[in-house]
Amino acid sequence: MRLDKYLSQRLGVPRSESRRLAARGSVTVDGIICKKADTQLDEHTAAVCVDGRPLAGQYQQFVYIMLNKPEGVVSATRDGRDTTVTDLVAGDYPRRQLFPAGRLDKTSTGFVLLTDDGALAHDILAPGRHVEKEYLVTLDTPLTPEMSAGFAAGVTLADGQRLAPALAEPAGGDPCRVRVVLRQGVYHQIKRMFGVYGAGVNALHRCGIGGVALDAALAPGAYRELTEQEVETLRAAARR
Ligand code: URA
């Protein structure tokens, strides 16, 4: 691979910038200053440094970020008023066009997947793919067997929309705490589903997407990249 292409991929900068870096003598290949942008190198074995610092990690075509969304942050890329989920990570990914693959309400918390892989996001969100999303919900009233049975059969919303079967089971401890698993993504879905039974939602936390659990070590507002294994798990869930 040409040096300027290699630098552009690894650093996420335009080729012109890579050529400038090389021309000013900032780049070494296997310990030797290399000013020629068209130098050919083996991208698997070459030791390339910029200003003495080795380039870390492999070039990633796409990034996949697990964010623990705090309350009050909106699931959007841009918003005139509120902080968005992409605002929270933008400092670390200035050149990536990241977007949330699926939304959480402003008042909800938990797992938001941020990525620039449009194909995977589409597959996760596509209604026909049925990727599971898991939530921990706190109701203003205890969960009843009627609610659980209604979720299992498929709730009909107040506007007549018939939803796919879903799971609502006691989360243990407090009878108002409920584990909900959905395979659909309808606006305000959980709040509207419980609303059919006259129950209000006091708190809603997404703890898993497609078999990938939100990392318990992530405080609200914290994020990390998914491991390769987690990306593979998501891909498999979206393929099913
Ligand atoms: N259902 C809701 O009502 N709100 C969310 O944020 C997610 C699912």
**Residue 49 shares a structural domain with residue 81:** no
| CATH number of the domain enclosing 40 | 3.10.290.10
Q: Is 188 in the pocket of ligand 1 (CB under 6 A)?
A: yes
| Ligand 1 atom at minimum distance from 192 CA | 3
* For ligand 1, atom 2: residue with the closest CA: 188
Predicted pLDDT of residue 198? 98
Pocket test for ligand 1, best of 191, 206, 207, 214 (most atoms within 8 A of CB): 191
Predicted pLDDT of residue 135? 98
**pTM of the prediction?**
0.77
Ligand 1 centre distance from Cα of residue 189 (Å)? 5
* For ligand 1, atom 4: residue with the closest CA: 188
The b-or-e profile of 165-203 (16+ CB within 10 A means b, else e) is ebebeebeeeebbbbbebeeeeeebbbbbbeebebebeb
**Residue 106 shares a structural domain with residue 7:** no
**Residue 48 shares a structural domain with residue 109:** no
Report whether 116 contacts 99 (CB < 8 A). Answer: yes
**Residue 76 shares a structural domain with residue 182:** yes
**Residue 90 shares a structural domain with residue 161:** yes
The total number of structural domains that make up the chain: 2
Provide the angle, in degrees to the nearest 10, between the axes of the packed helices 118-125 and 228-239.
Answer: 50
Q: Enumerate the active-site residues.
A: 105
Predicted pLDDT of residue 182? 96
Pocket test for ligand 1, best of 71, 74, 105 (most atoms within 8 A of CB): 105
> Which stretches of the chain score pLDDT less than 50?
58
**Residue 200 shares a structural domain with residue 230:** yes
Predicted pLDDT of residue 109? 98
Ligand 1 centre distance from Cα of residue 103 (Å)? 8
Ligand 1 centre distance from Cα of residue 89 (Å)? 22
Predicted pLDDT of residue 224? 93
In a domain, 213, yes or no: yes
Identity of the amino acid at 188: H
Report whether 76 contacts 66 (CB < 8 A). Answer: no
Predicted pLDDT of residue 108? 98
